């Protein structure tokens, strides 16, 4: 595959030999933008009982097995983060997303082969989307780039961490457009139809709302007015219930479940964290509530 190659529905499935998965990936959340159009830090905006930054970082934590790093502006104050999430500082403030990508990739070099990169303002990011994009990184691909909703999505893409020096060199040369990088490396472009060939993503996020971001107050109000994700709750002695909740704590509050609580999400692992994020299609099972 040559640099900048586009993929059609066949070539872009990412399911071939050597495709990477969430088990071998890391995550990067870019939080250092100025939020000038919003007028306040987007990272700290409330989202159904959490903050945008906490939610996005926690979705990555539950999706991938490798480290998750948040890239912030120098000295930027952040809201609380999920346990284990690392924070790294951009060396210079306000140089744009390519600087943040360079910083994040450098922090992960040698620790994970690939990273999913996203901003702080994707409240509807779904693990199925993250997994689908990561599978686009086959052995001959450096960047898996969604071209969805009519636009390239460099901040919802997967990158090889070995690109860190090349991205840093572009920043040093003041070549700050992500498209410059994509023209120079082996880039697999994934359009809407190609992304949705994945049955898990097609079922969980058919409208690709994972890419819905908020840049100004009106967009935030519109996105915040959406109901929390629809999930299934199972309780001892009770029938499964369909409810809307964005966090484990939010689901517990609907049933007056006392804290501390113990739940599983989709039958995988156990958590007591009330801020554990929930996404559309989740099944939450309450195992015990200790009064």
Work out the mean pLDDT of the chain and round it to a whole number. 88
What pLDDT, in 10s, does the model give residues 64-96?
999 999 999 988 899 999 999 999 999 877 678
pLDDT at 17 over 80: no
Q: Hey, is 6 helix, strand or coil? A: strand
Long-range contacts of 160-167 (CB under 8 A, 24+ apart): 160/113, 160/114, 161/26, 161/105, 161/108, 161/109, 161/110, 161/111, 161/112, 161/113, 161/114, 161/115, 162/109, 162/113, 163/105, 164/102, 164/105, 164/106, 164/108, 164/109, 167/98, 167/101, 167/102, 167/105
Q: Which of 13-17, 247-251, 280-284 is least confident?
A: 13-17
User: Cα–Cα distance between 89 and 93 in angstroms, integer?
Assistant: 9
User: Considering the entire predicted model, what is its pTM?
Assistant: 0.90
What pLDDT, in 10s, does the model give residues 99-149?
999 999 999 999 999 999 999 999 999 999 999 999 999 999 999 999 998
In this predicted structure, what is the pLDDT of residue 288?
Answer: 66
**Residues pairing with 242 in the sheet:** 232
Ranges of each domain in the chain: 22-211, 227-289
CB 121 within 8 A of CB 42: yes
Q: What is the CATH number of domain 22-211?
A: 3.90.550.10
- Domain 227-289 class in CATH: alpha beta
- Exposed (0-12), middle (13-18) or buried (19+): which is 281, by Cβ within 10 Å? middle
């Amino acid at each position: 595959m040559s640099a900048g190659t586009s993929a059609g529905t066949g070539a872009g499935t990412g399911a071939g030999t050597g495709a990477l998965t969430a088990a071998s990936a890391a995550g990067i959340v870019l939080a250092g933008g100025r939020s000038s159009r919003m007028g306040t830090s987007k990272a700290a905006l409330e989202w159904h009982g959490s903050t945008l930054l906490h939610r996005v970082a926690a979705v990555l934590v539950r999706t991938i097995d490798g480290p998750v790093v948040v890239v912030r502006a120098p000295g930027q104050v952040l809201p609380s983060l999920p346990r284990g999430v690392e924070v790294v500082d951009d060396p210079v403030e306000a140089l744009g997303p390519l600087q943040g990508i360079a910083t994040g990739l450098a922090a992960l070099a040698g620790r994970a082969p690939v990273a999913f990169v996203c901003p702080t303002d994707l409240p509807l990011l779904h693990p199925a989307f993250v997994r689908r994009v990561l599978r686009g990184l086959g052995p001959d691909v450096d960047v898996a780039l969604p071209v969805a909703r009519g636009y390239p999505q460099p901040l919802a893409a997967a990158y090889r961490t070995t690109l860190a020096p090349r991205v840093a060199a572009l920043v040093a040369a003041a070549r700050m457009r992500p498209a410059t990088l994509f023209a120079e490396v082996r880039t697999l472009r994934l359009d809407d139809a190609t992304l949705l060939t994945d049955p898990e993503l097609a079922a969980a996020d058919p409208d690709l709302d994972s890419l819905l971001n908020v840049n100004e107050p009106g967009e935030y109000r519109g996105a915040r007015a959406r109901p929390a994700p629809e999930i299934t709750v199972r309780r001892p002695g009770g029938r499964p219930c369909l409810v809307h909740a964005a966090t484990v704590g939010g689901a517990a509050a609907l049933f007056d479940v006392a804290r501390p609580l113990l739940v599983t999400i989709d039958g995988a692992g156990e958590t007591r964290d009330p801020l554990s994020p929930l996404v559309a299609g989740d099944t939450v099972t309450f195992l015990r509530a200790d009064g």
